[in-house]
Amino acid sequence: MTSEVKGRFGRFGGQFVPETLMTALQELDEAYDKVKNDETFQEELRYYLKNYVGRETPLYFAERLTKECDGAKIYLKREDLNHTGAHKINNALGQALLAKRMGKKKIVAETGAGQHGVATATACALLNLECIVYMGAEDVKRQALNVFRMELLGTKVVAVDKGSATLKDAVNEALRHWVTNIEDTHYILGSAMGPHPFPTIVRDFQRVIGDETRAQILEIENHLPDAVVACIGGGSNSIGMFYPFVEDKEVALYGVEAAGKGIETGKHAAAIYGGQTGVLHGAFMYLLQDENGFVQEAHSISAGLDYPGVGPEHCHLHEIGRATYGNVTDEEALEGLKLLCRTEGILPALESAHAVYFAANLAKTMSPNDILVICLSGRGDKDVHTISEALGGNLG
Amino acid sequence: MSQLKDAILSVTARGDKAFIPYIMAGDGGLEKLKPTILKLQQLGVAAIEVGIPFTDPVADGPTIERAGERALANGTTLRKVVETLTSFADELTVPLVAMTYLNPILAYGVEQFAADAKGAGIRGLIIPDMPLEESETVQPALSDAGISLVQLVSLTSTPERMERLTKASEGFIYAVTVNGITGARSSFANELEEHFKRIQSYTDTPVLAGFGISTPHHVTDFSSFCSGVVVGSKIVDSLVNEDWAAIEELVSASKVAAVK
Ligand SMILES: Cc1ncc(COP(=O)(O)O)c(C=O)c1O
């Protein structure tokens, strides 16, 4: 269904990178093809996912949320219960193990909110790899706690003050670092985006979310879900959740982009809904840009969704109509967050709160026999300062 | 035939080396573009590389990136650069080579860009984030407009790739001299001479060295084993400081007297 010819998903994806990176991407492609079918590698990965990350994560029936919405039965896939608090560790650990196999001793990564940075710093400490993380200077200020965590874990955090000093600029700087240190360094990209083979590698390391969900729901309900909902930053937790269901036509797939202060204000991060096709960070994808092809800053209350593009496989799923992409504003996400706190005693990450809000509305339109699964990509502890500020408090 | 290649070959036929300065269009204001280009061509350069600013210049180091930020702050766009160049295209005596990331060209429209660029005196194009494998989208329109698509060959390109890139490159071959991004360097790897000889063995298209070249000494050193050099960050800095003496010194280092 989603073809991978030359790293393409339909007309999206590709390898739009400087020539210096091409050989490294081909090496990575070959190395990944090898480990993909190498049982000792997969065994090692499973060992760490189980004993270190704490998988499998529960698929939890949210009974009070279900009652409140009075529609479909709502289940939560609890990625928030992973070590380090989000799905990001699935990919960071997989790629760190891959880097070891490739004989690379140094890791570079980018981070926005700091979740991927913390996950990568964690995997590097575990596997004794040297790690450097680039982070926009604006985000360093906003996410001081995660900067401190990364440093405790032995990672060097470098603030990027160029461009808009946010996630996209951190990706630029991580790519530059990789080009310059290509011999001994692997780049652990944090979402299902970037040049081939990254979108495929990240999806494969995240598909554990969907694979577990599929087995769990069949065990509990003996029935596939009618709808699956996940939030979209670059698109990794969502593609990980969607992928094992793509061939199951009866399962509706919903991705939720960040509408920020509202699509009409222009201050949002909804690349599929509000962008046009273009090339950034190695891939042809939907992109927030102006009429000159200059990339525009994304805006979202959640730093993890604050990215102007979206992974190429989602662009393709959108184009062929297999998945549906909605969007949720900052304010609505806060409503979703409060709803989950109040009904289930779970504080979701602001990113995941977008999925919660969208799913709650969707559930209301469905019947009590229907099943809806929300990918709860992370927990909200990292966001308490932002939340308190948005709600008029003064924790921050 | 490639007008760009012809222009370079006519320089090397004299025994000189081809010197191509890189400038960032719009740095210091678009009104500087015409006088800068006209003055550079008077100094005897083989061609002029005109950089187009972009919001996300992944292949560039701090000097060119900051120049691009200044140009963007001035409101510089691909469209405005093409318009400005067109206004004095009839005064050009050397070919222009545009260097732009891919997305501004896609937004402009590939066919429209190729046609307009031709009228602006652009004879060559470098797209640093578009490797050979992805060039099908722009190649036909460029060919129609007589614009040479220059390929970069890097130190990390495998021999098989190197051969493919070299044979596909039009105008000249841009041989990247370092692993990394644009910007001044103090030293280069030792095996460069071997590397350049291998590249030249595949083709009669001239091979030029670029990335990191910043002193007259570098220019003469590289000239001993390739057809010329591209100098970027050092030119950009010199233009900001209005240090034309430094630019003249660099260009002189490519002339037959110095190269001997
Ligand atoms: C908890 C959480 N969810 C979602 C995201 C968005 O990323 P992606 O779309 O790759 O899942 C992030 C990114 O930082 C995150 O931390």
Dump pLDDT digits (tens) for B114-133. 999 999 999 999 999 999 99
Cβ pair A191, A233 in contact under 8 A = yes
Pocket residue to mutate for ligand 1, from A377, A379, A387, most atoms within 8 A of Cβ: A377
Q: What is the pLDDT of residues A192-204, one digit of tens each?
A: 999 999 999 999 9
**CA–CA separation, A100 and A126 (whole Å):** 12
Chain B residues near residue A162 by CB distance under 8 angstroms: 65, 69
**What are residue A278's DSSP bridge partners?**
A285
Is the pLDDT at A141 greater than 70, yes or no?
yes
CB contact B69 to A (< 8 Å)? yes
Q: Looking at the domain that runs over B3-258, which CATH code has it been given?
A: 3.20.20.70
Q: How many CB atoms lie within 10 A of CB A21?
A: 24
For B50, the enclosing helix (H) or strand (E) is: strand B48-51
- Test the B interface: residue of A16, A134, A307 with most B CBs within 10 Å: A16
The domains of chain B are located at 3-258
- pTM (2 d.p.): 0.95
Task: Compute φ and ψ for A167, nearest 5 degrees.
Answer: -55, -45
Q: How, if at all, do strands B228-231 and B207-210 pair?
A: parallel
pLDDT tops 80 at residue A183: yes
Q: Locate the DSSP E strands across B162-238.
A: 173-176, 207-210, 228-231
Read off the amino acid at residue A62: A
* The pLDDT of residue A5: 58
pLDDT, position A393: 83
For chain A positions 326-365, those within 8 Å of chain B (CB to CB) are none
Residue A163, SS3 per DSSP? coil
Task: Give the model confidence (pLDDT) of A220-278 as tens digits.
Answer: 999 999 999 999 999 999 999 999 999 999 999 999 999 999 999 999 999 999 999 99
CA atoms of B210 and B178, how far apart (whole Å): 9
A342 — alpha (psi -120 to 50), left (phi > 0) or beta? alpha
Asked whether A86 lines ligand 1 (CB < 6 A), one says yes
Residue B260 confidence class, pLDDT cut points 50, 70, 90 = low
Tell whether the model's pLDDT for residue B156 goes beyond 90: no
Per-residue confidence at A2, pLDDT binned at 50, 70, 90? very low
List the beta bridge partners of residue A231: A256
Percentage of the residues of chain B whose pLDDT score is greater than 90: 82
pLDDT (tens digit, 9 = 90+) per residue, B210-234?
988 999 999 998 888 899 999 999 9
Nearest to residue B150, comparing CAs of B118, B125, B175, B122?
Answer: B125
Is A191 close to ligand 1, i.e. is its CB under 6 Å away? Answer: yes
The pLDDT tens digits for B169-182 are 999 999 998 877 77
User: What's the Cα-to-Cα distance from A86 to each of A31, A202, A377, B26, rounded to whole Å?
Assistant: 27, 15, 6, 44
d(CA A385, CA A301): 12
Checking if the pLDDT of A20 tops 90, the result is no
* Mean pLDDT calculated for residue range B8-23: 96
Check CB contact under 8 Å for A287 and B103. Answer: yes
Choose among B27, B70, B72, B69: nearest CA to B50: B27
Tell me if A112 CB under 6 Å of ligand 1.
yes
For the segment A293-346, what is each residue's pLDDT rounded down to a tens digit? 999 999 999 989 999 999 999 999 999 999 999 999 999 999 999 999 999 999
ipTM, two decimals, is 0.93
pLDDT-derived band at A396, boundaries 50, 70, 90: low
Q: Give percent above pLDDT 70 in chain A.
A: 98
- With CB atoms and an 8 Å threshold, state whether A20 touches B103: no
More confident residue, A189 or B59: A189
Q: Are B178 and B211 in contact (CB under 8 A)?
A: yes
Q: How high is the pLDDT of residue A144?
A: 87
Question: How far is C-alpha A43 from the chain's CA centre?
Answer: 24
Closest CA to A131 of A172, A177, A166: A177
